[in-house]
Each structure stands twice: as structure tokens, then as C-alpha cells.
Structure 1
Amino acid sequence: MATNNGVNVDQVLSIGTIVQLNGNNYKKWRADMDLYLLGQSLDWCLKEAEPVLVEDSTAQQKEHKEKWNRANRICILTIKKTLSDIVRGAIADKTHAGEYLKCITDKYQSSDKIESGMLLTKLQSMKFSMNLNIRKHIMQMINISVQLGDLGMSLDDDFMVYQVLHSLPDQFDSLQTTYNTQKDKWTLEELIAICVQEHERLKRNKAIDVNLITKPQWKNAKGRNQLNQTFIRSLRT
């Protein structure tokens, strides 16, 4: 089984299986590209400056220059082949494959900052409504935090617990008070279980209140007396 710097070459991607960079999949594309170039023993030229020959350059230096030129050329062609037309047109041409790859990375790092800002704003503005599924609400918030982590902005569990509690309506104030006054912290799994339980309790209490309010007056003693008195007065008139 052939290996290259500890990498199993037999398992390395072929150029045909490298996902095309289309604007929304940079991380996947970059991982595929790095693995392919490593497996093809081409990645060394990305970090090495172009060799410069002088009049008294040795045969070994000239040979190294030829190898670098070939590896660099293959890298540039490989990178361009895996870019969509739109992405390729947005990247300035470079003669050094390492510089060309850096231009692509810089473009997407800038995009990542914008996307991170949008996701963080969305997370902080999320509010739960009592007629929704609270487990799904919390999972959606956790999913956003995972996306932020993929973009280099990791949010710890304590922050997420605070953010979820902050997204709940006033009916959950007692839950927030309990969390703020106790010493132990909740994990996200514990938070989900506690919120689901509290949501169910609040819904049951609301159902009881609604039944009490909408219960017909004739079903209680006071209501029956009032109804009888009204009926008797109607007979006397």
C-alpha cells in the first residue's frame, strides 16, 4: 500500500472527484484540493518561491527549476479546472500557484466574515412562540452555532444556554430565574429536556385556565341559582 508522508495514496482523491468550487462550498473544495495535491506530490511548490537561475547556476539548480515550473503549472491548471466559470472569472490570474490559491482563500475569508455576522444576528434575534415546538426551536439555534463554529466563530455551551433562555417569552421567566440563581450550569441536552418539560407544564396550565373561563355558568351552583331566579321572575311577569 503506497503512502506519501503518511497518506494512503490509494485513497487519495482523483481530480475528477474534487468538488467544483461554486461559491458556497469552499471548505469542502479546499479539503479535496489539498488532499489531491498532496497525493500527487505537487503541494511542495505552493510554499516555495519560484527558483531564480543565474549564469553560474548548477545543473542541479536548473533541474530543480524545471521540476518547480512543471509542478506549479499543473497546480494552476488543476485549481482552475475545479472552479466554476463565475468563480474563475472573479479571481485574478497569478503565475505562482500558491499566490493564486491565496487569492481564492482571501475571497472566501471575507465572505465568511459577512456570513458569520449574518448568522450571529439571526441567532440573537430568534424568539420562541408558545404555539411552536420548543425542541425544534432550540435545535435550530444550536444548528446556527454549529455553522458559526465551521466559520471559525465557536460559541461555548454557557453562551448558548443563555441565548436560548433569552429567546423565550415571559412565561419562562421563572425558568430563567432558577438558572441564574443556581450554582450548577446546564448542558444543552439538559436545557432541552428542562425547556420541553416546562413548556408542557405551561400548556397544561393554560388549558386548565381556558376551561375555567369558558365553563358555562349553569354548571356551577351560583350559576344555577341565578338562572332559576331569572326563570321565576319571568313567570311572575
Structure 2
Amino acid sequence: MSCLKDVPTLRGDNYTEWRKKVDLAFVCAEVDWVVNEPQPVRPTEPVREATDDDAVWEKKKKDHAPVEMLYSIENQKSVNANKNCMAFIKNTIENAIVGSISECTSVGELLTKIKSQCTGSSKTYPTQLIKQLVIENYTGGGHGIREHILRMSNMAAKLNPMDADLGIKPALLVHLVMASLPKEFETFVVNYNMSPGTWDIEKTIAMRVQQEDRLKASHGGSLNYVKDNKKKKYNQNSKGSPSKPQGKAQHQHQQKSFPVDKDTCLHCKKSGHYKKDCPD
């Protein structure tokens, strides 16, 4: 029960992570066997035949006694483990999900129904994962190329328990990783596409890390894959040359554009008033 705090609450869209934590808790508690092993079946009691004398009948009962005792021990062990595991599971699920699941006699049956409800009827989460895989791009920052590829591999792995038809094959995952890399890796991607054979995800990680290390070495130890395209802001005190003069500079620029009399409007070019008093 000390593992209960480490298990995320099952909301429906995090089934894979929830099930992984639940399985780990069962292994730590040494009750993981209860998920797959059926409940023990009571042995058939001996029957006294018409031809059995007292000695034979007593021997049958004596031989059956240890079998009955073993069943009682194993059955009680199974009942207790099922009870504890089902209580553990129900305390890690949202109330709405618990209420929608019918009563189960074993923890294995309960887990099967939960999986069916969370992965069989939900199409939104797989769609989100596939979309994220397609649009994923490596931008550097605080994460290295290894973490980027492992994150994509983890997203692909989440699709496998949901639907066998949605599983991302290793070769396709490698191509998705290639497509997510910035232009600095363009030559490397071209060389991979032209080379014979395919790579698995482990070799892809190793080769990409080596390539990134070479790029960093050639750029002084750091790389910025995303450039800031924001326009620079200029102020009057800046030494640069702004595209348009501001304030007094603009007024002086307009005054130098054409000769005007002292009382001539700079807007309508008529004399007798200034621009700030212009009726136009």
C-alpha cells in the first residue's frame, strides 16, 4: 500500500502509465501472480463405493485430507490477494470510471474491463498521440537529441496496447525521427536514406548523438536550432538606423524636405496657421 501514492489517478487517457505503475506495485507486494492465475478449484470429495470396506474408505478419506487442506490454504491466499488488489485498483481510479464498471470476481477480470473501457472505446487519445508524433520537431533547448528520440519512442509505445492496427513499426518510427530533425541534420538524413539497410531506434539514438556532438564541436560547443524572428525595436537613443524617424527627428526631417515660411502649415502647406491648428 506504500506504492499507492506513486500510482497516478486513472482518468481514461493515461491508462498506459497507470497500468505500468499498478503492475510495479503488485510486483513489489509479491502479488502479481493473482492477475493471471485463476482461483483454485475445490477438489472432488471421495465417494464410498458399495464395494469399499471400512479400511478402504478410511484410506480414501485420509488421502483426501491433505489435498483439502492445501486447497483451503491456496484458496484463502487467492481470496485475500484478490480483495487487496481490487481495493488498491479502485482507490486509484476516478469515481466516474469505477461506477461504470460492473462487479468483478477477480482482479484479472477487473483489469480486463478497465482496459476495454479506457482503450477500446476511446479514439481521442490515440489520435492525439499520432498527431503529436507527426508534428514533433527537435528544437534543442534544454533537451538533447537522445531525450527527443526517447520521447517519440515512448509516444509510439503507448499506441501498441490500445490497438494492434495502430502500432508504430520501428522502421516508421525512425523515419518520423528523421523528419523531426532541423536542417542542421539534413546531410545526415540524406546519407541515411541513400545507405542500404535500416536502423533500429537504439542505433538511431547513437548515430544522432554522435552527429549532434560533431555539430556542437564545430560551433564552439553549443547550437541554437530555433532562431528568433522577432523584429528589433528601436528607440531614439539607439545607435542603429531606424526605418522611420521618431518625435523631433521626424519633425526636423519633414522641415528639411521643403522650404516653408515661419507661419506655414506643414500639413496643408497654407500660411496663416501651424499644423497643430490645421482644420484639415
TM range (shorter): 0.5 to 0.7
Q: Is the CA contact 2:34–2:82 (under 8 Å) kept in the aligned structure 1?
A: no
How far apart are the structure 2 equivalents of 1:52 and 1:36? 26
Aligned to 1:180: 193
Q: Is the CA contact 2:137–2:181 (under 8 Å) kept in the aligned structure 1?
A: yes
Report matched runs for 1:143-182 at 5 Å. 143-149=151-157, 152=160, 156=170, 159-168=172-181, 173-182=186-195
Shift of 1:193: 4.3
Residues 1:31 and 2:24 aligned together: yes
Which amino acid letter does the alignment assign opposite residue 190 of structure 2? T
Cα deviation, 1:96-151, whole Å, max 9, x if unaligned, reads 344334434555664899755543331122245xxx43784843343121343366
Q: Is the CA contact 1:45–1:98 (under 8 Å) kept in the aligned structure 2?
A: yes
Aligned to 1:228: none
Larger radius of gyration, structure 1 or 2?
Answer: 2
Kindly tell me: are residues 115 and 68 of structure 1, through their superposed partners in 2, closer, same or farther at Cα, counting changes over 3 Å?
farther
Q: How many residues align?
A: 184
Residues 1:133 and 2:119 aligned together: no
Q: List gaps (5 residues or longer) in structure 2.
A: 48-63, 161-166, 228-240, 242-280
Q: Is the CA contact 2:34–2:78 (under 8 Å) kept in the aligned structure 1?
A: no
Kindly tell me: are residues 137 and 20 of structure 1, through their superposed partners in 2, closer, same or farther at Cα, counting changes over 3 Å?
closer
Shift of 1:182: 4.1
Aligned to 1:80: 86
Task: Name the TM-score, length of structure 1 as normaliser.
Answer: 0.53
Q: List gaps (5 residues or longer) in structure 1.
A: 1-14, 207-215, 217-237
Q: Percent identity?
A: 17
Which amino acid letter does the alignment assign opposite residue 120 of structure 1? I
Which amino acid letter does the alignment assign opposite residue 96 of structure 1? S
Shift of 1:161: 4.5
Kindly tell me: are residues 135 and 160 of structure 1, through their superposed partners in 2, closer, same or farther at Cα, counting changes over 3 Å?
farther
Q: Is the CA contact 2:101–2:114 (under 8 Å) kept in the aligned structure 1?
A: yes
Q: Is the CA contact 1:123–1:144 (under 8 Å) kept in the aligned structure 2?
A: yes
Residues 1:189 and 2:179 aligned together: no
Aligned to 2:3: 17
Q: Is the CA contact 2:156–2:173 (under 8 Å) kept in the aligned structure 1?
A: no
Pairwise CA RMSD: 4.6
Shift of 1:77: 2.0
Kindly tell me: are residues 100 and 71 of structure 1, through their superposed partners in 2, closer, same or farther at Cα, counting changes over 3 Å?
farther
Shift of 1:28: 1.6
Aligned to 2:247: none
* Of 106-115 and 24-33, the range deviating more from structure 2: 106-115
Shift of 1:191: 2.2
Kindly tell me: are residues 164 and 147 of structure 1, through their superposed partners in 2, closer, same or farther at Cα, counting changes over 3 Å?
closer
Which amino acid letter does the alignment assign opposite residue 126 of structure 1? E
Which amino acid letter does the alignment assign opposite residue 38 of structure 2? E
Kindly tell me: are residues 151 and 37 of structure 1, through their superposed partners in 2, closer, same or farther at Cα, counting changes over 3 Å?
farther
Q: Is the CA contact 2:39–2:78 (under 8 Å) kept in the aligned structure 1?
A: no
Residues 1:47 and 2:37 aligned together: yes
Shift of 1:167: 2.8
How far apart are the structure 2 equivalents of 1:32 and 1:46? 15
Kindly tell me: are residues 82 and 70 of structure 1, through their superposed partners in 2, closer, same or farther at Cα, counting changes over 3 Å?
same
How far apart are the structure 2 equivalents of 1:134 and 1:20? 30
Kindly tell me: are residues 187 and 141 of structure 1, through their superposed partners in 2, closer, same or farther at Cα, counting changes over 3 Å?
closer
How far apart are the structure 2 equivalents of 1:45 and 1:177? 48
Kindly tell me: are residues 66 and 60 of structure 1, through their superposed partners in 2, closer, same or farther at Cα, counting changes over 3 Å?
same
1:93 corresponds to which of 96, 99, 103:
103
Cα deviation, 1:39-79, whole Å, max 9, x if unaligned, reads xxx94695234424656474445434433442232123211
